[in-house]
Amino acid sequence: MNELLLKLIHRDDPHERLWAAYDEAVSALRIRTRRATGVPGLVAAEPGAGEARAIEPVLRRFELAMLRELGFAVELGRDAATGAAIDPARDYWYVVERGPVPAEGTGERADAVRLSGLTLAHLEGGLFDDARTATQAKSLMRMLIHHCLNGQELSTRAIVRDLQRIEGVA
């Protein structure tokens, strides 16, 4: 979150709602990463699998709030082609700088992420409990953030990738 803020906002822009979302996310992460060890304030260095799943909704909410606050109108509730409400039973391509459009067939697109209409409805409502929603939301946020960064790679993402590669060798 810190690196995103440093790369995406201008130093003198106030973005009060963004800082409120940041504060909320940091507080939620602090609560979720504490270990029940009996030692007040002890924070886990490496969250367990269940804790990792628990922090993803916090991150997705922050990312959505950040994108919206920075002026990237993330449309989740309407079909960009027709303006109709999203159909939860249908699949959509989420196209950068356009929004969701109905997905036809099984092909792939380089400029879009395939999402279920239910995922879009969940995201619009701030619901992240469904496993499919969590997975698809992560893909969507990665694509949108990558676009906002104009292709720059986040250092934190590169570090995580390198650590995973090292763990795979060991």
Instruction: Give the pair of three-digit tokens for residue 136.
Output: 């698809």
Residue 128: exposed, middle, or buried by beta-carbon count in 10 A (0-12, 13-18, 19+)?
A: buried
Instruction: Give the pair of three-digit tokens for residue 36.
Output: 């029940």
pLDDT at 31: 84
CATH of the domain at 30: 1.20.1440.120
Who has greater pLDDT, 164 or 40? 164
Residue 70 vs residues 5, 39, 80, 100, 107: alpha-carbon distances, Å: 10, 39, 20, 20, 32
Number of domains, the chain: 1
pLDDT at 41: 55
Q: Which amino acid is at 87?
A: D
pLDDT tens sequence across 108-118: 888 899 999 99
pLDDT at 9: 86
pLDDT at 106: 78
What range defines the domain where residue 96 resides?
2-169
Distance CA 100, CA 132 (A): 17
pLDDT tens sequence across 51-91: 557 789 999 999 999 999 988 878 999 999 999 999 999 99
Distance CA 110, CA 148 (A): 16
Q: Which residues have a Cβ under 8 Å from the Cβ of 52 and sit 6 or more positions away?
A: none
pLDDT tens sequence across 12-51: 788 889 999 999 999 998 887 774 334 455 554 454 555 5
Do 101 and 80 contact (CB within 8 A), yes or no? Answer: yes
What is the secondary structure of 101-127 as a DSSP string? EE--SS---TTEEEEEHHHHHHHHTT-
pTM summary value: 0.79
pLDDT at 125: 92
CA 22 to chain centre: 13
